[in-house]
Structure 1
Amino acid sequence: MTSQQTEHRGLSVQSISTSFGDGQARVAVLDDISMNVDEGEFVAVVGPSGSGKSTLLNAIAGFAPPDSGELLVNGQPVREPGPSRCVVFQEYAVFPWLTVRRNIDFGTRLRSWTGTRQQRAQIVDRYLDMMGLREFAEALPKTLSGGMRQRVAIARAYAVDPQILLMDEPFAALDAQTREYMQESLIEINQRERRTVMFVTHQVEEAIFLADRVIVMTARPATIQEVVPIPWKGPERTHEIKTDPEFVRLRRHIEGLLRSPDGHGS
């Protein structure tokens, strides 16, 4: 391992490739993907349907190691799932038999440092307040709306205290109004509890609104077509920027990349 690999804080994806199937049925999904995501950076990934966005996330999570290449978190190789990475899925992945409080507390128990019961309760209380769930602390998930269940899943993910948060289209199943609310809630919580985030989405507007950079992938076998920096930082990232001429220009640019033949550029 080089000194550069060791010193990089965050996620390093180094020339990973992945295929599925055997023999003539084998299909290449990811083709020599490389990127760095710095510590505390929020990166969104967009690409055509079936381009391998979720495959990339699963590789980083340790669920499906790539055929070749290497994945590093803070200079340490990723070989399997671990507490350094936590995934928030599109489906509401909460335990239906546990209350909201106990769902979030489950996250604190996954930490390498579990602390005392009182310390864990303080962590849970902080995320209940941060995600607006205090009055629903003793409710079961079946009594909650989809957006509230996803808030529980996000609160539990932050309670694990991961180095990297992986989000696989977490708002895709929500209605438009709830989705906008969740976007704003995620910006707020991540400004307060800064994490390295990789966020997969099909919505270009959502990617620009949330991310520091947008990674645009090509069609399968996926490569990185372009990395688009986003100018707004911290408190500047409000709903009003969606009508800013630069926001509109970035959206048109990224949508143009995605519409290009086979997603491989013009």
Structure 2
Amino acid sequence: MPELFRRPDLLRLDYDTYRALPAVANSDLSRLRDALDGRPPRPQTSPSNGALEFGTAFHTALLEPDTYVPGQPGLNDTLIWWLVDGVKMNSQLAEMLEQGTPEPSCLFTEPETDTLCKLRADLVVDVPGQPYTIIDFKTTIARDAEHFRSQCTVYDYDRQAAFYTDALKADRFILVGVQKIEPFGVFPVEVTELMLHEGRQKYQRLLRLLKAPATAPSYRAEAVQAAVDALGLGE
């Protein structure tokens, strides 16, 4: 008899409440990666802090259109809704948008490192008799679908896919690149087992580093420790 499992609960939280949860997010792992690679720290941002960035505005229009506020400084509302319409012209994506739960959050313990983690997915589709699917939308300036596919590894989208897939025990993870420049193409990419394997190695390595920042190379030790301290989760 196959072993039964229970997926973590999907929580309906506003963004600021989610951000305040004392757990490690994929974005935190990106900051730790940046410190390890010698990149400058990323600024902490929140939709409630002022003008939205383009990607955040697009996600709001696509996933929670009733909460979209037009006329934000520096944003082209017409372009944002044009991109939303472009996504919905793909019949499969349109159906998943109708069926799915937008912007659900989740708290879970990553078993390999015993780390309390959190995630906030773009869209989760849980329909009886169909694969449990996570969809994540990325605005992009990639030239075409193959260019976007190659970026999935470069930008660590594979790490995010593995982090989310493992947490929710999902059957599928679909990345959707949405061109924000002409010709405004839409590029769905189903994440492969190889991508998940490579992404899993990435996130587990970073979680181990979070547990033991002293294991970072000596020339990055100070930056890594600062990144860990900034999370406020140090033991």
After TM superposition, the score normalised by the length of structure 1 is 0.29
Higher relative contact order (CA 8 A, sep 6+): 1
If each structure's helix is expressed as a fraction of its own residues, which one has the higher value? 2
After TM superposition, the score normalised by the length of structure 2 is 0.31
